[in-house]
């Protein structure tokens, strides 16, 4: 069980695959499991590992509250896929041995064998994962779209919003919600694929209809 060496590209790929259908390392809320894995990563994952990068940025936002997150932090090898061996401790022990033994020939040979074994197991795991259908990460977003005043044609405003089409974007139900002084805002639901559509893109496209739209806010954002 484990992710392998999370300071290596191979280890980060295992983490990315593991998080393809998960928001957290364990359970449905941030916990000490996330902190343990987060602290084992040397730098943010690259952009192409978007599941790992999404998780990394999310857990980073809890940096000041990490001590208060639930759970008990365990050894890194206790987390991750069951069919990948974690060799982080073995690598650390090998390094310590090299520091003591100046010749280090036996330890160096051992380290190479451990590295070869780890790479073989990671390759087997990635091959197994590649045969599974990819899980598409989606989010449900509730948007508040505000008009300029009570004279704005809200039917036309909604028509403009729904005219926005993009791969990975599906519009849902909507309603008008009073905000005061006779003004109503459009509250509209949509489902997006996380790696194709973001809130920044939605805001840019919606506020481009400046004859009708004053502003757009995200009222709710939930992972599906």
* Segments in 19-147 forming alpha helices (H): 32-39, 50-60, 88-100, 105-130
Residue 105 lies in a domain: no
Residue 197 lies in a domain: yes
pLDDT of amino acid 133: 64
Residue 118 lies in a domain: no
Same domain for 219 and 146: yes
What total number of domains does the chain contain? Answer: 2
Backbone φ and ψ of 179, nearest 5°: -120, -5
Same domain for 212 and 142: yes
What whole-number distance in Å separates Cα of residue 139 and Cα of residue 154?
26
Domain of residue 26 covers: 9-78
pLDDT of amino acid 207: 96
pLDDT of amino acid 154: 96
Show which of 54, 78, 102 is a domain's final residue: 78
Show which of 29, 56, 78 is a domain's final residue: 78
Show which of 30, 51, 78 is a domain's final residue: 78
What whole-number distance in Å separates Cα of residue 110 and Cα of residue 74?
27
Instruction: Specify which residues 167 forms β-bridges with.
Output: none
What distances in angstroms separate CA 181 from CA 66, 171, 216, one per listed residue?
Answer: 44, 28, 19
What whole-number distance in Å separates Cα of residue 110 and Cα of residue 95?
11
51 alpha-carbon distance from chain centroid: 4
- Inter-residue contact 77 to 2 (CB < 8 Å): yes
* Residue-by-residue pLDDT tens, the chain, 224 positions: 678 888 888 889 999 998 998 899 998 899 999 999 999 998 999 999 989 999 999 999 998 888 899 988 888 888 888 765 555 444 444 444 444 444 444 445 557 778 888 888 888 877 776 666 667 899 999 999 999 999 999 999 999 999 999 999 999 999 999 999 999 999 999 999 999 999 999 999 999 999 999 999 999 999 98
Residue 120 lies in a domain: no
pLDDT of amino acid 103: 43
What whole-number distance in Å separates Cα of residue 209 and Cα of residue 218?
17
Residue 154 lies in a domain: yes
Tokens of 223: 């992972």
Instruction: Specify which residues 169 forms β-bridges with.
Output: 192
Residue 133 lies in a domain: no
> Dihedral angle at the C-alpha atoms of 122, 123, 126, 132, nearest 10 degrees?
-130
pLDDT of amino acid 113: 78
Helix axes 88-100, 105-130, angle to 10 degrees: 170
CATH number at residue 201: 3.30.70.60
Residue 124 lies in a domain: no
pLDDT of amino acid 123: 81
Q: State whether residue 46 is helix, strand or coil.
A: coil
> Dihedral angle at the C-alpha atoms of 36, 47, 61, 21, nearest 10 degrees?
-60
From 113, 115, 111, select the one nearest 11 (Cα to Cα): 115
Q: Which residue has the tokens 């990563």?
A: 41
Residue 151 lies in a domain: yes
């Amino acid at each position: 069980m484990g992710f392998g060496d999370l300071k290596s590209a191979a280890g980060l790929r295992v983490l990315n695959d593991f998080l393809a259908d998960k928001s957290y390392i364990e359970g449905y809320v941030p916990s000490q499991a996330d902190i343990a894995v987060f602290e084992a990563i040397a730098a943010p994952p690259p952009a192409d590992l978007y599941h790992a990068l999404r998780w990394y940025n999310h857990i980073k936002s809890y940096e000041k509250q990490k001590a208060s997150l639930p759970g008990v932090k365990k050894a890194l090898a206790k987390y991750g896929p069951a069919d990948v061996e974690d060799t982080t401790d073995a690598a650390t022990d090998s390094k310590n041995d090299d520091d003591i033994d100046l010749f280090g020939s036996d330890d160096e040979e051992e380290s190479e064998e451990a590295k070869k074994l780890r790479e073989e197991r990671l390759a087997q795991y990635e091959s197994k994962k590649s045969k599974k259908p990819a899980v598409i990460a989606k989010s449900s977003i509730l948007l508040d779209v505000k008009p300029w005043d009570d004279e704005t044609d809200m039917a036309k405003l909604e028509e403009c919003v729904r005219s926005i089409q993009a791969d990975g974007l599906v519009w849902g139900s909507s309603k008008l919600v009073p905000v005061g002084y006779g003004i109503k805002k459009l509250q509209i639901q949509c489902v997006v694929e996380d790696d194709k559509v973001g809130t920044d893109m939605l805001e840019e496209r919606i506020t481009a209809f400046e004859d009708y739209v004053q502003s757009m806010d995200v009222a709710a954002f939930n992972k599906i």
